[in-house]
């Protein structure tokens, strides 16, 4: 049931405040995160780890990338993401101090399942972040942290993505509590950010009308670029993937710092570029770097669409369009920043008369290697 929306994807974008609230429910008590499924795994396991590998494919891998920044910062363990289908072939170094976290909406993605089995066979502890109750991957793992985002029908993942990031953040905060790596103040601040997320998502979802207009004007666009730094980088990759999947246009996401190392040569008159701008309050250095990137591409003729936090006027002289989102701490911004990018892909796909929910050549879950 599309609940009155024109597509499942539209409904699912709109469902995100509830999806995220459901991921958090029962896991945040008195400002502390405790995930019962991880407590069952044993605190000793989490105290002992010296490395975390996140494995996933597609959108789930961008959720994983976003998670690396937060988990590493909070739990002080090195965290990396590997694509499931690359993982086994590199003969990875795995020890009894490695923790593997798989991320999969369906819990049936064959490449991810094979990577989990490979790790389990080598004695590695595995946690599954999954949206589908009793799917194969959580059953093959030592612990399952369900996202509880509700069934996702559209091929393009939206609510599962933000729920995956939220679940990874909860895992990071759980591990940080067990390892004692965060101050009381930091813990409190993170809990506060989690508490406020569903409400902020409501405001992010309300960017729909503005973004729909933008997409309408841009219906003939043949290529769109996305730039981001730090946690804005995976958001840029995700924004580009959404456009490829459902609007069938060339789209690429870049780390803003890479511009000068090649991609800036792509900037030509009228080239649309979405720029994900970090908060000037909580990430002032990154913010000023991204504003310089905007100046550089604008000077070469780019059409800049800036995604900023409300009140940030620094980009106004250089941006053609500005999309404003509620205030959030730097690590929590990507959860909100992806929402206008989801709307943009949906509206561009609609403007081109395409099937938003069932894009050509794609299946909801990829159960072959």
Tell me the catalytic residues. Answer: 364
* Contact between residue 246 and residue 351 where contact means Cβ atoms under 8 Å apart: no
Contacts (CB under 6 A) with ligand M6R, residues 119-178: 155-157
Three-class secondary structure assignment of 179-236: HCCCCHHHHHHHHHHHHHHHHHHHHHHCCHHHHHHHHHHCCCCCEEEEEECCCHHHHH
Q: How far apart are alpha carbons 329 and 17 in whole angstroms?
A: 17
Shortest gap between Cβ of 94 and ligand M6R (angstroms)? 21
* 336 or 346: CB nearest ligand M6R: 346
Q: How far is CA 268 from CA 170, 253, 263, in A?
A: 42, 16, 11
Site membership for ligand M6R, residue 105 (CB under 6 A): yes
* 55 or 319: CB nearest ligand M6R: 55
Site membership for ligand M6R, residue 106 (CB under 6 A): yes
* 156 or 256: CB nearest ligand M6R: 156
* Contact between residue 117 and residue 140 where contact means Cβ atoms under 8 Å apart: yes
The single residue among 112, 136, 141, 207 that binds ligand M6R, judged by CB under 6 A, is: 112
* 33 or 57: CB nearest ligand M6R: 57
Contacts (CB under 6 A) with ligand M6R, residues 9-68: 57-60
Q: How far apart are alpha carbons 230 and 53 in whole angstroms?
A: 18
Contacts (CB under 6 A) with ligand M6R, residues 227-256: 245
Phi, psi of 29 (to 5 degrees): -125, 125
Shortest gap between Cβ of 175 and ligand M6R (angstroms)? 22
Shortest gap between Cβ of 350 and ligand M6R (angstroms)? 16
Residues of this chain that bind ligand M6R (CB under 6 A):
57-60, 104-106, 109, 112, 155-157, 245, 365-366
């Amino acid at each position: 049931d599309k609940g009155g929306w024109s597509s499942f994807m539209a409904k699912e974008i709109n469902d995100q405040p509830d999806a995220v609230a459901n991921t958090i429910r029962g896991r945040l008590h008195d400002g502390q995160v405790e995930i019962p499924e991880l407590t069952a795994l044993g605190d000793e396991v989490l105290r002992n780890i010296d490395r975390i590998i996140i494995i996933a494919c597609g959108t789930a891998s961008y959720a994983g990338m976003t998670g690396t920044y937060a988990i590493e910062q909070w739990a002080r363990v090195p965290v990396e993401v590997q694509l499931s289908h690359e993982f086994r072939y590199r003969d990875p170094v795995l020890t009894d101090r490695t923790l593997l976290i798989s991320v999969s909406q369906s819990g049936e993605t064959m490449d991810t399942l094979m990577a989990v089995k490979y790790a389990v066979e080598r004695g590695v502890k595995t946690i599954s972040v999954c949206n589908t109750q009793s799917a194969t991957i959580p059953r093959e793992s030592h612990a399952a942290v369900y996202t509880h985002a509700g069934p996702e029908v559209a091929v393009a993942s939206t609510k599962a993505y933000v729920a995956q990031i939220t679940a990874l953040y909860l895992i990071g905060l759980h591990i940080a509590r067990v390892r004692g790596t965060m101050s009381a103040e930091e813990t409190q601040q993170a809990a506060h950010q989690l508490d406020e997320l569903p409400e902020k998502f409501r405001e992010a979802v309300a960017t729909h009308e503005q973004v729909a207009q933008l997409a309408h004007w841009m219906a003939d666009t043949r290529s769109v670029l996305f730039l981001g730094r730090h946690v804005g980088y995976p958001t840029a990759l995700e924004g580009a993937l959404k456009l490829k999947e459902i609007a069938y246009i060339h789209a690429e996401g870049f780390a803003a710092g890479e511009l000068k190392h090649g991609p800036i040569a792509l900037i030509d008159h009228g080239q649309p570029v979405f720029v994900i701008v970090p908060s000037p309050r909580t990430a002032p250095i990154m913010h000023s770097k991204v504003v310089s990137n905007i100046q550089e591409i604008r000077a070469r003729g780019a059409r800049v669409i800036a995604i900023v936090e409300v009140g940030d006027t620094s980009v106004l002289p250089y941006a053609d369009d500005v999309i404003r989102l509620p205030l959030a701490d730097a690590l929590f911004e990507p959860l909100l920043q992806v929402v206008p990018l989801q709307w943009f892909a949906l509206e561009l796909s609609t403007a081109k008369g395409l099937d938003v929910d069932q894009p050509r050549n794609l299946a909801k879950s990829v159960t072959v290697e």
